Amino acid sequence: TASNTIRHLISISDLTTPEFKSLVNRAAYHKKLIKSKQKPATLPLQGELAALLFTKRSTRTRISSEGAAAYFGAQPMFLGKEDIQLGVNESFYDTTKVISSMTSCIFARVNSHADIQQLCEHSSVPIINSLCDRYHPLQAICDLLTITENFNELKGLKLAWIGDSNNVINDLAIAAMKFGINVSIATPNGIEMEQFIIDEARKITNETGATLELTHDPKIAATDANILVTDTFVSMGEESQTKEKLKQFSGFQINNELTSLAKDDYKFMHCLPRHKEEVSDDVFYSDHSVVFPEAENRLYAAIATLEAFVINKGQFL
Ligand code: CP
Ligand code: NVA
């Protein structure tokens, strides 16, 4: 069927290292164009619709994917869970068939990885995973763009993640390692990285030499880190576990005590939205923090993704 030949963006692991690097390069390229007030020479998606099928909240992903669609001339169409028949009156299968018959791509923010897989199976247009429980590839493209803007040589840097085992670090760890960055992940006792990420990381180590370190001690991760990263301790859909999780994460706040172990010129990153329990104001609003340029970079990541998967149909420049 057609779906077998369509390239979808599900996770960074699905991309070869050159493909992933190409996305980051193209994001930088379009950023430069936009910053110099230039417009793309043609509007390849003019007259088309880009669907946003979102069953969860979003600020950055929604704005950046709508902005990317507009940049190439497409009309973005936001389909929130209160707006459409999905889940109440209509099945996933029927909804996917119908949406894909009238649009050029579907940015999908859904709950489970299985939902993303179902979408890919039944859609006649590219699916762009815009966050599921396992992956957040658009964030990882953005984050590697942000890192390339802040460091000259990426190979051999140490990126420390102090936080949850979740969708954001699953893609960020693989993405960073593809660029030769060593990754050190501190999660609380009882929260482990998933085996499929550890297996994937091992393959990347063989390719680029980058290492993955797993610990339950935030200090081990923070020591000599060039980049400190975290995310919410309670992801969307886990609200009922808030009390237990916050208890588990005691000692995991990125604050001046922890950053004093990092390199003097460390950078702090966070995909946002942010809460004080995972990072203190001192760090979050410091000169080390690149969180707002990082958020803006989501736009250029979405543009590069639309270009590669929708306009160029899975051909990477
Ligand atoms: N970082 C991120 O995906 O933010 P939103 O949930 O606001 O889209
Ligand atoms: N881990 C967070 C990321 C939000 C952008 C979540 O899944 O809610």
Residue 236 CA, ligand 2 centroid: distance in Å? 6
Residue 170 beta carbon below 6 angstroms from any ligand 2 atom: no
The label of the residue with tokens 């299968």 reads: 93
Residue 56 CA, ligand 1 centroid: distance in Å? 10
On whether the pTM is more than 0.95, the answer is yes
- pLDDT, position 73: 98
Q: Which ligand is nearest to the CA of 291?
A: 1
| Rg of the chain taking only CA atoms, in angstroms | 19
Residue 166 beta carbon below 6 angstroms from any ligand 2 atom: yes
- Ligand 1 atom with least separation from CA of 56: 6
Residue 64 beta carbon below 6 angstroms from any ligand 2 atom: no
- Ligand 1 atom with least separation from CA of 63: 8
CA–CA separation, 56 and 49 (whole Å)? 21
Residue 34 beta carbon below 6 angstroms from any ligand 2 atom: no
Domains of the chain: 2-135+298-311 (3.40.50.1370), 139-295 (3.40.50.1370)
DSSP-derived secondary structure letter, 12: G
Q: Is 212 helix (H, G, I), strand (E, B) or coil?
A: strand
CA–CA separation, 235 and 231 (whole Å)? 9
Q: Which ligand is nearest to the CA of 164?
A: 2
Q: Which ligand is nearest to the CA of 63?
A: 1
pLDDT of 1 strictly over 50: no
- Ligand 2 atom with least separation from CA of 131: 7
DSSP-derived secondary structure letter, 263: -
pLDDT of 3 strictly over 60: no
Residue 271 beta carbon below 6 angstroms from any ligand 1 atom: yes
Reported as a pLDDT band with limits 50, 70 and 90, residue 87 is confident
Q: Is the ipTM of this complex over 0.85?
A: yes
Residue 69 beta carbon below 6 angstroms from any ligand 1 atom: no
Ligand 1 pocket mutation pick from 53, 60, 296 by most atoms within 8 angstroms of CB? 60
Max Cα distance, the chain (Å): 56
Q: What tokens appear for 197 in the block?
A: 């990420």
> Which residues are known catalytic residues?
271
Lowest mean pLDDT among 24-33, 84-93, 260-269: 84-93
Residue nearest to atom 6 of ligand 2 (CA): 235
Residue nearest to atom 3 of ligand 1 (CA): 61
Pairing of the two strands 49-54 and 127-129: unpaired
Residue 58 beta carbon below 6 angstroms from any ligand 1 atom: yes
The tens digit of pLDDT for each residue in 228-278 reads 999 999 999 999 999 999 999 999 999 999 999 999 999 999 999 999 999
Average pLDDT in the chain: 97
Residue nearest to atom 2 of ligand 1 (CA): 60
Q: Lay out the sheet containing 227-230: strands in order across.
A: 212-215, 182-186, 158-162, 227-230, 267-270
Give the Å distances, CA to CA, from 72 to 104, 183, 268, 306: 12, 35, 32, 9
Residue 91 beta carbon below 6 angstroms from any ligand 1 atom: no
| Residue 167 · residue 136 · CB < 8 Å | yes
pLDDT of 64 strictly over 70: yes
CA–CA separation, 145 and 150 (whole Å)? 9
CA–CA separation, 221 and 158 (whole Å)? 9
Residue nearest to atom 1 of ligand 2 (CA): 235
Residue 232 beta carbon below 6 angstroms from any ligand 2 atom: yes
Give the Å distances, CA to CA, from 10 to 21, 99, 110, 119, 158: 16, 18, 12, 10, 26
The label of the residue with tokens 């949406």 reads: 99
Burial class (CB in 10 A: 0-12, 13-18, 19+), 63: middle
The tens digit of pLDDT for each residue in 91-129 reads 999 999 999 999 999 999 999 999 999 999 999 999 999
Kind and range of the H or E element at 94? helix 92-102
Q: Omega into 273 within 30° of 0, i.e. cis? A: yes
